[in-house]
Amino acid sequence: MARREAATPQGNAKLTPIAIESAHGSLVVDVDGNQYIDLAGGIGVLAVGHTPDRVVAALQGQAARLIHMCAIVSTYEPFVAVAEQLNRLAPGDFRKKTVLMNTGAEAVETAVHISRSFSKRQGIVVFEGAYHGRTNLTMAMTSKFNLFKKGFGPFAPEVYRFPFPNVYRRPPGMSEDGYVDWHISLLDHSFMAQVDPSHVAAIFVEPVQGEGGFVPAPTAWLQRLRELASQHGILLVSDEIQAGMGRTGRLWAIDHSTVVPDMITTAKSLAAGMPLSAVVGRAEVMDAPHPGGLGGTYSGNPLACVAALEAIDQIAAPEFLQRSVEIGEHLRGRLLEMQQRHPGLVGDVRGLGSMLVMELVKDPVTKVPWMEATAALTAATVKRGVITIRAGLFSNCIRFLPPLTITNAELDEALDVVVAALDDVAKEISPH
C-alpha cells in the first residue's frame, strides 16, 4: 500500500486498505493470506463471481489464438457474437444493433453521440443523483459534484438536469404516491423551465441510480418519461452500467417496468471483469452516425468478448436470474432486521433484487446523512474480513453488490459481520 501511495496520485484513491493476491467466487485472499468475503463485487462487476471457471478457460483459449486485432481493422468471431447476443436479449420488439466500447463512460458518451446524430438536436436530459462517468461529457451528466467534479470544469454544455423522485427524502407528511405524482408533474414543468423538448436529443435515466444510492425509479414516473419522449421525438436511454446484467433479478433493470427504451448502455458485469461496454439500440438510431464515427482501438477486444459470451450465457439463464432474486430477498430481510435493531441509525433499506443499500442517518426523522458512521462501518467490516463500500449522493449508504454465485452460508457469515460492526459503530460514534 505504501508503494501504491508513492507511485500513484492521491486522486486515484482506494476504499479499503487491503492488497489482494487472488480471488475466486465470493472469496478474496490478501497478500498476507487473510481471507475476505466480498460484498462489493468490484462495484457491480462480478455478477458471475471472481475468476469463474468458464470465463478463465475462455480467456486462456482466446489468448493463445488472438489477443488483439482492432475491430476497426478487421472482424473476428467473438466481436460479432457478442453484438448478436445483446441484440437478441435487449428489450423491444424491433430490429437492434450494438456498438462495443471499453468502459461505462465510453458507452454513455457514445450513446450521446448517436442520439445527437440521429435527432439533429443537442440537448441531453439527466437527473439529480445520476452517475454516468468521468469523461468531461459524462462528468457534466453526473450529479455528485464534490467527489467527481470539483476542480475539473468547465464541463460540456447542453446538459439539463431534472429532479429525480427519491421517495425516502420526500417532504414530511407527503405520501409516496403523492410524491411520485408531484415529480411526474415536474417533468412537464422542467420541459418548460429548463429546456424545450424540441431541443432535446435524449433522456438518460438509471432505472436504479447507482452512485446516487440505489434509488429505484418509480414505474409510473418512468412510464411518463417514455410518453414524453415518444411525444416529442426524444430518445430514451436506459443507463444499466451498474443495474443491468441480472443484478436486480431481471436481465435489465428497466424490465421491472413496462417501459422499452430506445437504447441501453451496459458494462460492469457484462464481461466478468474484463473491460467491455456496449450500447444496444434501435437499428435505425444506431445507424445514424457516419462510417468511422464510432469505435476505438481496443473496443470489442477479443479477450473481453469471449469473457462476455460466457458471462452473458450464464447471467441470462432463468436459474441464475432466480438466484439473483433469492439473494436479494434474503439480503433485504437481513438488512431490515438491522434497521429494526438500530432504527435511529439505519434510516432506509432500498434497492431492487440483489442491488441494495442501507442509508445511515443521524436521526430517522430529520434524515440528516451520517457520513462518518458510514466510513466507520466499512472500515469495521474490512477489519473483520468482509469487504463493503459506500454509495449515495451524501456518501452515507452502504452498498451491497455480492457476486451472484455467493452461497447462503457465505452471505450469512458476511452479514453477521456487518451486524457486529454496526453494533460497534452505534456504540462508539455519536451523531452530535
Mean pLDDT of 102-112: 98
- Cβ partners under 8 Å of residue 407, min gap 6: 26
Q: Residues 244-286: pLDDT tens digits?
A: 999 999 999 999 999 999 999 999 999 999 999 999 999 999 9
Q: Are 213 and 129 in contact (CB under 8 A)?
A: yes
Mean pLDDT of 139-164: 94
Mean pLDDT of 104-130: 98
Q: Residues 367-418: pLDDT tens digits?
A: 999 999 999 999 999 999 999 999 999 999 999 999 999 999 999 999 999 9
* Structure confidence at residue 94 as a pLDDT band (50, 70, 90): very high
Q: Sort strands 386-387 and 355-360 into parallel, antiparallel or unpaired.
A: unpaired
Q: What is residue 89's predicted lDDT score, i.e. its pLDDT? A: 98
State how far the Cα of 43 lies from the Cα of 15, in Å rounded to an integer.
Answer: 11
pTM above the 0.85 mark? yes
- pLDDT tops 90 at residue 13: no
Distances (CA, A) of 225 to 116, 183, 197, 206, 383: 19, 11, 12, 12, 44
Q: What is residue 431's predicted lDDT score, i.e. its pLDDT? A: 80
Distances (CA, A) of 275 to 82, 128, 203, 247, 271: 14, 27, 25, 18, 7
Q: What is residue 146's predicted lDDT score, i.e. its pLDDT? A: 84
DSSP bridge pairs for 101: 277
Mean pLDDT of 345-360: 98
Q: What is residue 386's predicted lDDT score, i.e. its pLDDT? A: 98
Mean pLDDT of 156-176: 97
- pLDDT tops 90 at residue 236: yes
Q: What is residue 125's predicted lDDT score, i.e. its pLDDT? A: 98
- pLDDT tops 80 at residue 353: yes
Mean pLDDT of 349-367: 97
List, edge to edge, every strand of the sheet that includes 397-400.
346-352, 355-360, 397-400, 389-391
- Would you state the cell numbers that stand for residue 8, as one nine-digit string? 500513484
Q: What is residue 187's predicted lDDT score, i.e. its pLDDT? A: 98
Q: Report the mean per-residue pLDDT for the chain.
A: 97
Helices 318-341, 302-315: crossing angle, 10 deg rounding: 80
- pLDDT tops 80 at residue 432: no
**Radius of gyration of the chain from Cα atoms?**
21
* Structure confidence at residue 99 as a pLDDT band (50, 70, 90): very high
Mean pLDDT of 53-68: 98
Mean pLDDT of 100-118: 98
Q: What is residue 12's predicted lDDT score, i.e. its pLDDT? A: 87
Q: Residues 188-232: pLDDT tens digits?
A: 999 999 999 999 999 999 999 999 999 999 999 999 999 999 999
DSSP bridge pairs for 215: 209
Q: Using a pLDDT cut of 70, give the percent of the chain over it.
A: 100
DSSP bridge pairs for 399: 357, 389
Q: What is residue 332's predicted lDDT score, i.e. its pLDDT? A: 98
- pLDDT tops 80 at residue 345: yes
Q: Could you give all domains of the chain from N- to C-terminal order, each with its CATH number?
A: 2-51+318-428 (3.90.1150.10), 54-315 (3.40.640.10)
- Would you state the cell numbers that stand for residue 166, as one nine-digit string? 427519491
- pLDDT tops 90 at residue 145: no
Q: Are 142 and 155 in contact (CB under 8 A)?
A: no
Q: Which residue has the higher pLDDT, 147 or 309?
A: 309
Q: Using a pLDDT cut of 90, give the percent of the chain over it.
A: 96
Q: What is residue 80's predicted lDDT score, i.e. its pLDDT? A: 98
Lowest-confidence region among 13-17, 186-190, 346-350? 13-17
